[in-house]
């Protein structure tokens, strides 16, 4: 299951105990099994290893200066991290996703973020990182989010997982129950949030860090296969 790193490591810090009610922490610890199951499912469906992942106690939200009053909850993010030996990509899951999301939603989000991981590694291995334009609205950010990912049917062998992705993701994450619970049990209760601009996920990593990176060789081989499939599909 991924790297073996404890995805709840942030919950071991004393300050987190002061930030969140014990009931939420207990709920997270009881439901993290769905995250483990989802990671294993994605790995089996793709034949690849899942990147490092963890649960973030502070909920990231995105607001747009152009679209006044519009706020998007970022239930998960795929983050490239610059380190001493190059770039490593991590998947960050939010507390509300794990605490309030259905098992199927958690699995779908994990699969969706894995697709982002694959796309990021494609960008890094081809040095296609300078083409990311800054986006100014949530709508534009969503559009950019979907237009660049590989078709899940090319990446996953699990038909049920593919159908789950199609059901849960179209114009953002489709889960009214999760949105309602997050609003009621997190945002309206002023639990910790981090406000991010819509362009927060734009990749800005120095080329020298990318060149020092050792990416999964199995994934690099898979990317060659995926690019051939994409080229064939575009040629039709």
Q: What is the mean pLDDT of the chain?
A: 84
Cβ 37 vs Cβ 16: under 8 Å: no
- Give the burial class of 232: count Cβ atoms within 10 A of its Cβ; 0-12 exposed, 13-18 middle, 19 or more buried: exposed
Answer whether residue 113 is part of any domain.
yes
Q: Who's near 41: CB < 8 A, 6+ residues apart?
A: 107, 110, 111, 158, 161
For 143-180, write each residue's pLDDT tens digit.
Answer: 345 457 899 999 999 999 999 999 998 767 889 999 99
CA–CA dist 138, 73 (Å, integer) = 11
Q: What is the reported pLDDT for 174? A: 84
Full residue range of the structural domain in which residue 209 is found: 9-126+133-226
Q: What mean pLDDT is predicted for residues 102-114?
A: 96
What confidence category does residue 136 fall into, taking pLDDT thresholds of 50, 70 and 90? very low
Q: What is the reported pLDDT for 143? A: 38
Cβ 115 vs Cβ 150: under 8 Å: yes
Q: What mean pLDDT is predicted for residues 21-38?
A: 95
Sheet holding 59-63, edge to edge: 71-73, 59-63, 193-196
More confident residue, 192 or 210: 192
Q: What is the total count of domains within the chain?
A: 1
Pick the range with the lowest mean pLDDT from 15-19, 45-49, 154-158, 221-225.
15-19
Q: pTM of the predicted model, to two decimals?
A: 0.87
């Amino acid at each position: 299951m991924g790297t073996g790193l404890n995805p709840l490591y942030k919950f071991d810090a004393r300050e987190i105990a002061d930030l969140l009610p014990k009931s939420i922490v207990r709920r997270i610890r009881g439901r993290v099994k769905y995250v483990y199951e989802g990671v294993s499912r994605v790995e089996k469906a793709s034949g690849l290893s899942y990147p490092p992942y963890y649960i973030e106690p502070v909920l990231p939200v995105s607001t747009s200066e152009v679209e006044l009053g519009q706020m998007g909850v970022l239930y998960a993010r795929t983050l490239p991290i610059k380190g001493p030996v190059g770039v490593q990509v991590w998947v960050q899951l939010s507390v509300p996703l794990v605490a309030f999301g259905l098992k199927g939603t958690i699995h779908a989000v994990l699969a969706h973020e894995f697709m982002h991981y694959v796309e990021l590694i494609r960008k890094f291995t081809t040095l296609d990182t300078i083409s990311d334009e800054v986006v100014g609205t949530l709508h534009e950010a969503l559009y950019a989010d979907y237009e660049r990912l590989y078709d899940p049917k090319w990446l996953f062998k699990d038909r049920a997982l593919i159908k789950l992705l199609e059901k849960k993701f179209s114009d953002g994450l489709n889960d009214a129950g999760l949105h309602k619970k997050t609003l009621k049990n997190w945002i309206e209760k002023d639990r910790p949030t981090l406000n991010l601009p819509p362009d927060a996920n734009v990749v800005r990593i120095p080329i020298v860090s990318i060149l020092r990176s050792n990416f999964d060789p199995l994934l690099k081989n898979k990317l060659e296969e995926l690019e051939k499939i994409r080229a064939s599909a575009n040629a039709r």
